[in-house]
Amino acid sequence: MEIKTIGIAGAGTMGAGIAQVAATYGYQTILFDVNENMLTKAKLSIEKSLESLVQKQKIKSDKKAEIISHIQYTNAVTQLKADLIIEAIVERLDIKQQFFNEVAAVNSPDTILATNTSSIPVTQIAAKVPNPKRFLGIHFFNPAPIMKLVEIICGVETDAAVASKCKQLIEGMGKTCVMAADAPGFIVNRVARHYYVEGLKIAEERIADFETIDALMESSGFKMGPFKLMDLIGVDTNFSVTTSIYNLFHQDGKFRPSRIQQQKVDAGHHGRKTGKGFYIYE
């Protein structure tokens, strides 16, 4: 089956970014979220991002208009009908499984179902989803329109032909795909977890403050320090992924979530999207 329509579930930073990428490459794109507010914010964010590209002369105004015309916004799951559906919702197994069962009920048995999960094993999500042969992981990185890397993850039941088709499609969007084994955190989030966790431990032990740790890492060659990066990703999202990986590795101490990060989440200081995280934003 040729993929012409792509559905994205979750209109947060990641979902909106994936929708922008799909629409840029000419796919009819449906962006779904139960929260109408999130859809409004996503629409404004995508339009702002595209206008920035126009101002930088990377695309023309008519291309911007064309991309915008490819995106449909909806808060009704019954309208989320596509050839490929990519989920980018909250990092909770039960909610993901419930969503995929709802969307499977209104789509063809041939519709490819993909999760953008950062940490939960694909096989675990697919276990309670109809026809797991068409289920896989397609893991973009934030910000999706800029970051080139995408992890493709096969579950135990994933049809190799489905994975191959998705890899070809994503590479056609100008991305670099790597095939990752179905393990907690896959490749990038397992490696990167310690960039955040160790930075947080240094702050907890008062060896250095956030700004100093970030400055040290940036002077060592990293584009962003761990605290600036957590604010960009979302402190709540980052904490959720760390907690998930910690539990999936049976509470291995090296993945222990930070109490400092927990406090930020409890206070609603989720980073750039709330105007306050480890740093304060205008």
Which residues are known catalytic residues? 118, 139, 151, 189
Q: What CA–CA distance (Å, rounded) separates 139 from 184?
A: 13
Buried residues in 36-71 as b, exposed as e (16+ CB within 10 A): eebbebbbebbeebbeebeeeeebeeeebeebeebb
If one counts every other C-beta atom within 10 angstroms of the C-beta of residue 106, the result is 13
Q: What CA–CA distance (Å, rounded) separates 170 from 176?
A: 8
SS3 assignment, position 109:
coil
Length of the chain counted residue by residue: 282
CB 85 within 8 A of CB 114: yes
If one counts every other C-beta atom within 10 angstroms of the C-beta of residue 246, the result is 20
